[in-house]
Structure 1
């Protein structure tokens, strides 16, 4: 029987697609047949989770655990079958997941920024026209710097 004794990330790295939970010595341990095994990074050393689907992607990864001279390898697919492991993993990665409304807000913010930039440019062009009409050379030269 396998249970997770401790699971703490060494550090967490994110990009647009994935949350990567990187492991190191003394941050991950399991109990196998009533013996404590410490994670050792000789094979895989990270969990890769899709930020949108919240699914673990690298299920084929093999993790090594050591107790004295005894080394045991467990695949991530095996670890995922442990209820306490999956729960701990999602509690660590949960704040990094992309939710649908968050994605929509990001798109809206980008669209708003583009519209504001266009409006500011149009305003500068109108002020340049006004400076030309009034033959205000100082204002004209100053406004040209904003284009």
Structure 2
């Protein structure tokens, strides 16, 4: 069983719904047995996460750890299975996941407001028709055309 001793991304990069956690020397270490192994960026040096699905995208990448002259290589999917890496990732990624959720909620609210505005415009057009107010009807239908063209 491996235990994560320390895991701090050297830097994080968010591009849309994708998050890259990039690691460097001295920022990632594990305990194997009773010995501490330091991460060395010989092969893979990042973990890529889709923030919408919360899935890790580079599970087959190989991470390398070293203690003195001893080195061990381990694929990311295996590191996830035999260590507490998931817990550490959750604490790092939670802010970014919440940020994506907030953006999605804001988009949903904006869409709902636009739908309500359009429904209100249709009601006003119906009201103008019932009253026989041609001028108001023309203004509202022009406004509806402009709104539909914008979206």
TM-score normalized by structure 1? 0.69
Map residues 80-91 of structure 1 onto 2, 5 A cutoff: 80-82=80-82, 84-91=84-91
Q: What pairs up with 1:10-21 in 2 under 5 angstroms?
A: 10-21=10-21
Name 1:79's counterpart in structure 2: 79
Which structure 1 segments of 5+ residues have no match?
A: 116-147
Counterpart secondary structure, 2:94: helix
Computed over aligned residues only, the root mean square deviation of the Cα atoms, in angstroms, reads 2.2
Cα distance change of structure 1 residues 33 and 102 upon mapping to structure 2, 3 Å threshold: same
Question: Partner of 1:19: helix, strand, or coil?
Answer: strand
- Mapped contact 2:4–2:83 kept (Cα < 8 A): no
- How far did 1:104 drift? 3.6
Moved beyond 6 Å, runs of 4+:
none
TM-score of the superposition, structure 2-length normalised? 0.67
Give 1:25's aligned residue.
25
Distance 1:82 1:28 in 2: 16
Secondary structure of 1:81's match? helix
**Pairing of 1:1-147 with structure 2 (within 5 A):** 1-82=1-82, 84-97=84-97, 98-99=100-101, 102-106=103-107
The structural deviation recorded for 1:108 is: 5.1
Question: Which one has a larger percent helix, Structure 1 or Structure 2?
Answer: 2
Residue 60 of structure 1 deviates from its aligned partner by 0.4
Displacement of 1:7 after TM fit? 0.6
